[in-house]
Structure 1
Amino acid sequence: MNGHANVQSESRFDVVIVGAGISGINAAYRLQERLPGLSYAILEARDDLGGTWDLFKYPGIRSDSDLFTFGFAFNPWNRSNPIAEGAAIKTYVRDTAEKFGIDKHIRYRTKLQSADWSSKEHTWALNVDADGKSKTLTTRYVIFGTGYYNYNQPLEAKISGLENFKGQIIHPQFWPEDLDYANKKVVIIGSGATAITLLPNMAEKAQRVTMLQRSPTYILSLPNRSASRWLAYILPTSVYQRLQRVIWIITTRIFFVFCQRFPNFSRWILRQTVTRQLPGHIPYDPHFKPSYNPWDQRLCVSPDGDFFQCLRKGKADVCTDTIKTVTKKGIALNSGNSLDADIIVTATGLKLQIAGGATLTVDGEKLDVGSKYIWNGVMLQDLPNAAFVIGYTNASWTLGADATAQFVTRLVKEMESRKLIAATPRLKSSQAGTLLERPLLNLKSTYINVAQRTLPMAADQAPWQARDNYSKDMKFALKGDIDTGLEFVQGPSFRLRPVVQ
């Protein structure tokens, strides 16, 4: 691969990718594919690649999207199970990075502290902590593949009396690998994907596991095997994998649109599927009857119905109530009941942030991310030469990540051919007063509502609308209008480093 020699010693790059998770690896591949002479580096704050799949270690950690679409389009998931455990996903990401030589570009233990754009030099100065040493890297373009939550701090669980508890309090984001919960009474506070995953997995060893929820969520049981796997026997592997990916993209989209268009019918269908799986002593209402419509919050997936199997075995339970206070030995509820516990797991959500928490400045002036609009779901108003990888809430994250990467490579290629060195999203004064604010992430989950002011804004008008449709976004990425809303600067050459032959 041209341009990656001595990546550890170089300090000037055409593009720098922040984060070596799914988003970063995908972006790196697209750069290599579309701009093979371009120099790039990936900054990874942790000791290993994988992002989310390297961070989370709680029992049963798995994807909540199918791997046929969550996996890379250029290196398809080749197993039959659509829902995969974290360790398998991390191995898959590592194998992909090694297969395409992307791993050679990764700088581990290199955390981005701040990024300052110079309008005079038309470059970014990236101040990083490189294994305890302060360094500055220079680049023309930055791709933030850092996701949208804080790796270092969980969302604070505001639970009355939590400090009184004499047992162990665990947050899934920082799961102790040596935690012994065999024959212990466990209470999991929360009802999202993490809680739905933890309950059946912890129940295998624990004496009793109770999921304590303030309000229920929708849970969809799916067979953890592809319904179209018979096609593998009659089609070439590459054709079958592409077809399978398309099938999952289309069916997932149809299901989402159906739920949005026919919420009452969707609620009825989901109710029927859940009721059939519940044991007799656990009623649907109130434990599985959400107050919102399907897809107002993300649906939780239960592969092979493992969540409901666990309830039927009798070692786990669901309690829908609110907490009065935490005591020395458990939780007192406002209903007057109480739950005994040796371990409390606070699966109450994630703390959101943008750009991995790095400070963003333009000519020394700090940018208030929460006051800026997102341009076509990719770039930020008034921030030059920077892209933010933001996936979907109603489909696989990687689909959105790839739409972003495809757009960025096209933009950079266009800038090179037109002799442009900077592109900045600008809001026209005539449009500023007419925009109606819309949330960046179209979900009503508590942890998202808490963080609204720390995330960029979206609007009701193009090109400031949030993305939510992969087909539409990919069409824009490959052939859409890149001039409306972007301000360009002419220059001699986009590349900071000459092409190495």
Structure 2
Amino acid sequence: MEHLDVLVVGAGISGIDAAYRLQTEHPQRTYAILEARDAIGGTWDLFRFPGIRSDSDMFTLGFPFRPWRAAAAIADGASIRRYLQETAAEFGIDRRIRFGRRVTAAAWSSPDQRWIVEVQVADGSTERYSCDFLFLGTGYYRYDRGYLPDLPVIDAYRGTVVHPQHWPEDLDCAGKRVVVIGSGATAVTLVPALAERGAQVTMLQRSPSYVVALPGTDRLVDRLPRWAHRLIRWKNVLVTSGFYELARRAPGAAKRLLRAGLERQIPDHRVIDRDFTPRYQPWDQRLCVVPDGDMFRAMRSGRAEVVTDTIATFTSVGIRLDSGRELPADVVVTATGLQLQVAGGMRITVDGTVVDPGRTVVYRGCLLSGVPNLAICIGYVNASWTLRSDLTARYVCRLLAHMDAHGYRSATPEFDGDVAARPLLALTSGYVQRAADVLPKQGTAAPWVLHQNYLVDVLSTRFGDVTRDMVFAVRPMRRSTVAVDAAAPRPD
């Protein structure tokens, strides 16, 4: 059984970031990355549907240690995947990746003060590793299956049904009638991409989402020298954070700004009222970004339309709506959302006690209550994933340095129950609500709060007290504190 100081799970953005920080700040430590798939990229290697692109600007989605150099602020999936591959190669991270290895279980032993990790190899064999610290860069999407609601009589439909998460490589929609069910980021990405490929597209939504048109390129990139990319990064951080705070504190003003942007794209106010005016407040769900207004261009060209209605039933040739309208379709795309899971679905135990992540409380946005020497990466919902993942990696490096300085073998966040637990992600999106019992909880006071504020987190990561609410062990113990049940009633 091979032993490593740190074992990283996942070779996507989080795993690559963690690897860079580890080998830069702790070069004396051994580490490896276990990746279930056969390629680098994580989400950006999994999703291959037409038009796949970032919904965060690339100057914050890119790594701070290797800035995004292209002018494209909203990049396509292939470009992002290539950027991740090149970053891993440039820093030698790709040589540390073990592909085709899915982690199925991780067991912490207090007597040994280490993790034992069980791995299923692509060839059907199994492997075991031990490590002192476990870093889970697995994100929270379930890769093997997307979400599919109960669609009435869908078996009666004789056309092609496809979920964006499993897009067939040989599916050609040119000259076909395509109905995209959904109104989120995936749907608004697919509509203009399919229209550009010659399809006649209808986006069928049960209720509207907030859609904002943003420039696909950043003009400052060509005007500033290469060293000034950090300024662009901070400019985008401040603009994004500023609008989020405006939406939370003055939703009426945020609505007016969003509508003003729509009115520049859609001259008919009745269309805006019917198809682009959500029932919820801005940032109760993620905003849908359309670079350079490509979706609106597709609508103006007549190649795409948006229909706000509910499905009565599927027919053999399409969909009948509750309004009585018939939508003929050669292809139906179920852009109906994702399923969430924690730690890639692996089984986690602490001294033989199974840890239910949904009953733990997140510490500084990256550790779990009662679980020693384990970090998870949870990105922002209102900004790019990389901003938060890099802070997580840097915090873990800082924690490891503190443990080295004092001779500690393990660090366990201890939640005393005095801080009421609440949902981890403050979104009303369906995929978040469905996972309410799956995701860890958060508290109402530091260090048990998952801030959606990069500026606050930068200060906490660099200067926060790493000993607060933390139990350290110098030598092996008989038994570790098990995970706190955040859902259990507190004693009087």
Query: TM-score w.r.t. structure 2 length?
Result: 0.94
| Inter-partner Cα distance in structure 1 for 2:269 and 2:158 | 31
Q: How many angstroms does 1:462 deviate by?
A: 2.1
- Who is 2:444 aligned against? 460
Instruction: Choose from 70, 73, 93 the match for 2:84.
Output: 93
CA distance in structure 2 between the aligned counterparts of 1:188 and 1:465, rounded to whole angstroms: 37
2:131 alignment partner, one of 135, 139, 142: 139
How far the C-alpha of 1:335 sits from its partner, in A, is 1.3
C-alpha displacement at 1:419, in angstroms? 0.3
Asked if 1:425 is matched to 2:413, the reply is yes
- CA deviation vs aligned residue, 1:354-401 (integer Å, no higher than 9, x gap): 001111111222111111111111100111100000110011110000
Question: SS at 1:196's partner residue?
Answer: helix
Aligned with 2:437: secondary structure?
A: helix
1:129 partner SS? strand
The structural deviation recorded for 1:230 is: 4.8
1:460 is displaced (CA, Å) by 1.1
- Residue in 2 aligned with 1:362? 350
Aligned counterparts, 1:199-348, within 5 A: 199-232=191-224, 235=225, 237-238=226-227, 240-278=228-266, 280=268, 283-348=271-336
**Residue 70, structure 1, aligned to residue 61, structure 2:** yes
Conservation of the 8 A alpha-carbon contact between 1:186 and 1:206: no
- What residue number does 1:148 align with? 140
2:43 matched to which residue of 1?
A: 52
Matches of 1:127 and 1:279 in 2, distance apart? 58
- Tell me what 1:416 maps to: 404
Q: What are the residue-to-residue correspondences of 1:164-203 with 2, within 5 Å?
A: 164-203=156-195
Residue 470 of structure 2 aligns with an amino acid whose one-letter code is L
What percent identity do the matched residue pairs reach? 46
Check if 1:108 corresponds to 2:99. Answer: yes
2:30 to 39, 45, 58: 39
Q: CA-to-partner distance for each residue in 1:109-154, whole Å, 9 max, x for gaps?
A: 0100100001110100000012321110000001110111100111
Q: State the shift of 1:280 in Å.
A: 4.4
**Structure 1 residue 353: Cα displacement:** 0.2
* SS across alignment from 1:283: helix
Partner secondary structure for residue 103 of structure 2: strand
**1:22 aligned residue:** 13
> Deviation per CA, 1:136-192, whole angstroms, max 9, x where unpaired?
000000111011110011113221111211111100000001002111111000000
- 1:332-411 to 2 correspondence within 5 Å? 332-411=320-399
Give the distance between the partners of 2:453 and 2:199, measured in 1 at CA. Answer: 44
Question: 1:301 is paired with a residue of what secondary structure?
Answer: strand
**Counterpart for residue 489 of structure 1:** 473
SS of the residue corresponding to residue 220 of structure 1 reads: strand
Greater shift, 203-212 or 214-223, is seen at: 203-212
C-alpha distance in 2 between matches for 1:159 and 1:451: 20
Equivalent pairs counted in the alignment come to 475
C-alpha distance in structure 2 between counterparts of 1:86 and 1:378, whole Å: 27
Q: How far apart in 2 are the matches of 1:171 and 1:183? A: 20
- Which amino acid in the other structure matches residue 353 of structure 2? E
1:224 match: secondary structure: coil
Unaligned runs of at least 5 residues, structure 2: 477-492
Q: C-alpha separation between the residues in 2 aligned to 1:206 and 1:322?
A: 26
Deviation, structure 1 residue 282? 6.7
SS at match of 1:194: helix
- 1:19-74 Cα deviation digits (max 9, x unpaired): 00011000100001100111000000001010011000000100000010000000
For residues 379 and 253 of structure 2, the distance between their equivalents in structure 1, rounded to whole angstroms, comes to 28
Instruction: Give, as a single letter, the amino acid of the residue that structure 2 aligns with 1:337.
Output: R
The whole-number CA distance in structure 1 between the counterparts of 2:191 and 2:69 is: 28
Is 1:27–1:405's contact at 8 Å kept on the other side of the alignment?
A: yes
For residues 288 and 200 of structure 2, what CA distance do their matches in structure 1 show? 22
Rounded to whole Å, the distance in 2 between the matches of 1:487 and 1:281 is 59
3-state DSSP of counterpart to 1:146: coil
Could you tell me whether the CA contact under 8 Å between 2:52 and 2:76 is conserved in 1?
yes
**Partners of 2:358 and 2:440 within 8 A in 1:** yes
Q: Secondary structure at the match of 2:4?
A: strand
1:163 aligned residue: 155
Task: Choose which of 422, 433, 442 in structure 2 pairs with 1:449.
Answer: 433
CA distance in 1, matches of 2:107, 2:156: 45
Aligned-partner residue type, residue 111 of structure 2: K
Q: Which residue does the alignment assign to 2:486?
A: none
**Aligned 8 A contact 2:246 2:253 in 1:** no
What is the identity, as a one-letter code, of the residue corresponding to 1:405? A
1:191-244 Cα offsets, whole Å, 9 max, x none, are 000000000000123441000001111111111111423542xx4x22x11111
Q: Distance in 2 between matches of 1:52 and 1:329?
A: 33
Which runs of 5 or more structure 1 residues have no equivalent in the other structure?
Answer: 1-9, 493-501
Deviates more, 1:88-97 or 1:365-374: 365-374
Secondary structure in 2 aligned to 1:46?
coil
Matched, 1:477 2:477: no
Q: 2-side partners of 1:156 and 1:226: how far apart?
A: 36
The Cα of 1:488 is off from its aligned counterpart by 0.8
SS state at 2:196 partner: coil
- Preserved contact between residue 71 and residue 222 of structure 2 (Cα < 8 Å): no
8 Å contact kept, 1:185–1:206: no
SS of aligned partner of 2:95 = helix
Q: Are the equivalent residues in 2 in contact too, given 1:279–1:312 (CA < 8 A)?
A: no
Structure 1 moving runs of 4+ over 6 Å: none
Task: Say what the alpha-carbon RMSD is for the aligned residues.
Answer: 1.3
Distance 1:82 1:182 in 2: 28
For residues 299-325 of structure 1, give each alpha carbon's deviation from its aligned partner in whole angstroms, at most 9, with x where no partner exists.
011111001000000011000011111
